[in-house]
């Protein structure tokens, strides 16, 4: 697991640098330059600044359109730091529940949607309810078969 974390750290660092250089090339918006030209210019600038070729172009192609990656880059550009644990965790929990979800935020996952839909039910309560229903159906079927 440690080697994968280290590898991801390297990919993240290199792709972040390249994204900054590529965004700078896009902002220059030189007349007559195509996307491929700006990409090759960004690769040349990366090599000149960092001292080696950009070897994670395939990763950049995958990551560049992902919302989570764009949010991470925006956070880096704004000087985002990891939030610290508050002294009173209950105040944070109440604040996050009352906030409306942002339209640009990532969509809610399936597990979170299920928990929001059934806030009072835990997995064991649900399975107990299912077992009770199955037993009731079995007894009613046996009664019908005996009659």
Contact 42, 22 (CB under 8 A): yes
**How far is it, in rounded angstroms, from Cα 110 to Cα 19?**
31
CB burial of residue 70 (10 Å; 0-12, 13-18, 19+): middle
Per-residue pLDDT of the chain (147 residues; tens, 9 = 90+): 677 778 888 888 899 899 888 888 888 877 888 888 989 999 999 999 989 999 999 988 888 888 888 887 777 555 555 555 555 555 544 444 444 445 567 788 888 888 888 766 656 677 788 888 889 999 998 888 887
Count how many Cα atoms sit within 13 Å of the Cα of residue 45 in the half-sphere of its side chain: 16
Q: In this predicted model, what pLDDT tens digit does every residue of 72-101 receive, in sequence order?
A: 777 755 555 555 555 555 554 444 444 444
And the tokens for 11?
């990919």
């Amino acid at each position: 697991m440690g080697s994968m974390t280290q590898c991801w750290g390297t990919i993240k660092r290199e792709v972040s640098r390249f994204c900054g250089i590529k965004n700078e090339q896009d902002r220059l918006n030189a007349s007559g330059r195509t996307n491929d030209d700006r990409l090759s210019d960004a690769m040349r600038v990366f090599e000149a600044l960092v001292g080696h070729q950009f070897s994670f172009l395939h990763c950049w192609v995958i990551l560049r359109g992902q919302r989570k990656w764009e949010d991470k880059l925006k956070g880096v550009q704004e000087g985002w730091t990891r939030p610290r644990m508050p002294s009173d965790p209950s105040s944070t929990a109440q604040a996050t529940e009352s906030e409306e979800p942002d339209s640009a935020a990532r969509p809610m996952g399936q597990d979170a949607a299920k928990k929001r839909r059934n806030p009072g039910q835990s997995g064991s309560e649900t399975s107990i309810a299912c077992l009770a229903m199955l037993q009731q159906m079995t007894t009613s079927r046996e009664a019908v078969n005996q009659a």
